[in-house]
Amino acid sequence: MMMILVVLRLQRFLLVEMVKPKLHLLPFLGLLFLQAPPSSEMWHLTYDMYLYTSFIKGVGELSGVHLSPASPEIVLDHDHTSPSVGCLSSEPIISSPENTHADNSIVSQTFPKAQIQQSTHTHLDISLFPLGLTEEKSNGTIALVDDSEDPGANVSNIQLQQKISSLEMKLKVSEEEKQRIKKDVESLMEKHSVLEKDFLKEKEQEAISFQDRYKELQALLQSSVKQQVEAIEKQYISAIEKQAHKCEELLNTQHQRLLEMLATEKELLKEKIKEALTQQSQEQKEILEKCLEEERQRNKEALVSAAKLEKEAMKDAVLKAIEEERKNLEKAHAEERELWKTEHAKDQEKVSQAIQRAIQEQRKISQETVKAAIIEEQKRSEQAVEEAVKRTRDELIEYVKEQKRLDQVIRQRSLSSLELFLSCAQKQLSALIATEPVDIE
């Protein structure tokens, strides 16, 4: 699972690197430039702009007038109107880098790429204005008119005219510099577009290589997932086999315990039957010795009492065995318990019917023997009692055999239920194993 997570994270990282834009915006004097790989042309452009600004400052210091570079919009207006008209400003007009960066970002979001390139070409029209010349000319003419009256003021007028002529020459030179810089900027923009195309081609090639790498990683991931699925299937099969062996061992131990319980129950039943038979024989002998005259009635009562005692003893023994078997098998075999109860009730009815038949036969025999002789009647009664005891023993043996058969049937049913449970568990595990690879993919 850790390998799968690592491979998925690598895939996500590669996709992010493929999609991530490699172009950054560089604010420079209110303009937007795409940050391409460092080249000599860009450094030359920045160096020329720096020389141009220093030249403007030098001209302003020589002329004694504070000159400031105008914004691109004012330059365009100046180009459309006339080159001789200027403007005077006491503060610099260039905006702060934050404002220019914000304006350029807004322009880049609202206008398309072609419009941005056109706006950059228009913004690159940098010029220098003859600042304050109109006012100086007007002041010079007024001063000449006023100083014509004074002969000492001609010298100042001549100096002013010389300054004006020098400023006009400097303005012409600055205009020539401006045109040269425009041409340089256009050539640099062409080179920049070529470099941008090359850069985009390189990035496309890198994206193709990243896609190939992604496909290789995906194939490796699928192979690793298949290997893991096979290993998991082997583990599940081994675990199922271990559980099957454990279940077989538990069934064998339970079978042995049940056999031991049945052996102990058989011994207890034999002892109880022997005790009941001895008690019955003693009671019958005492009754026959006490009163021979009223032997018919007493024989009847004795037979009834003996039958009742036998019934009660049998019921007690059977009920005890049933209670013990119920305690052992109540939790696992509720339905089979009901079947066993019904069969046990049928067996009890059969035993009671057999005892009643034996009692009736004994009554008939006793009546016949009493008519003949009391001694013969005693012998016959003893023989009848022995025959009844034998019959009861045979019936008990048959009952025990039937109980064994029922126990075997119950065991077979429990084994079949366990086999069904194991088959269902195997099917569920196979279904889980089949669904797990789909979830992982």
Asked whether the predicted pLDDT for residue 298 surpasses 60, the reply is yes
Q: Residue 34: phi, psi to the nearest 5?
A: -80, 130
Task: Lowest mean pLDDT of 128-137, 152-161, 239-248, name the range.
Answer: 128-137
At residue 13, the pLDDT reads 62
Q: What is the pLDDT of residues 87-141, one digit of tens each?
A: 333 333 333 434 434 444 433 443 334 343 444 444 434 333 333 444 444 444 4
pLDDT bin (cut points 50, 70, 90) of residue 391 is confident
Share of the chain above pLDDT 70, in %: 59
Q: What is the pLDDT of residues 398-437, one digit of tens each?
A: 888 888 888 888 888 888 888 888 888 888 888 888 876 5
Q: Is 132 left (phi over 0), alpha (psi -120 to 50) or beta?
A: left
At residue 305, the pLDDT reads 80
At residue 97, the pLDDT reads 37
At residue 4, the pLDDT reads 61
Mean per-residue pLDDT for 24-45?
A: 43
Asked whether the predicted pLDDT for residue 50 surpasses 80, the reply is no
Mean per-residue pLDDT for 64-78?
A: 40
pLDDT bin (cut points 50, 70, 90) of residue 236 is confident
Which value, in Å, is the radius of gyration of the alpha carbons in the chain? 62
At residue 39, the pLDDT reads 47
Mean per-residue pLDDT for 15-21?
A: 51
Q: What is the pLDDT of residues 326-336, one digit of tens each?
A: 777 677 666 76
Asked whether the predicted pLDDT for residue 249 surpasses 70, the reply is yes
At residue 358, the pLDDT reads 78
At residue 3, the pLDDT reads 56
Task: Lowest mean pLDDT of 27-41, 49-63, 222-236, 425-439, name the range.
Answer: 27-41
Q: What is the pLDDT of residues 178-191, one digit of tens each?
A: 888 988 998 899 98
List the chain domain ranges.
2-226, 291-440
Q: What is the pLDDT of residues 176-226, one digit of tens each?
A: 988 889 889 988 999 888 998 899 988 888 889 888 888 888 889 888 888
At residue 143, the pLDDT reads 44
Token digits for 147? 């100083």
pLDDT, greater one: 149 or 9: 9
At residue 117, the pLDDT reads 42
At residue 51, the pLDDT reads 57
Share of the chain above pLDDT 90, in %: 0
pLDDT bin (cut points 50, 70, 90) of residue 46 is low
At residue 6, the pLDDT reads 58
Q: What is the pLDDT of residues 255-290, one digit of tens each?
A: 888 899 888 888 888 888 888 888 877 787 777 677
Token digits for 45? 């452009």
Q: How far is Cα 144 from Cα 151, in angstroms, rounded to an integer?
A: 11
At residue 414, the pLDDT reads 82
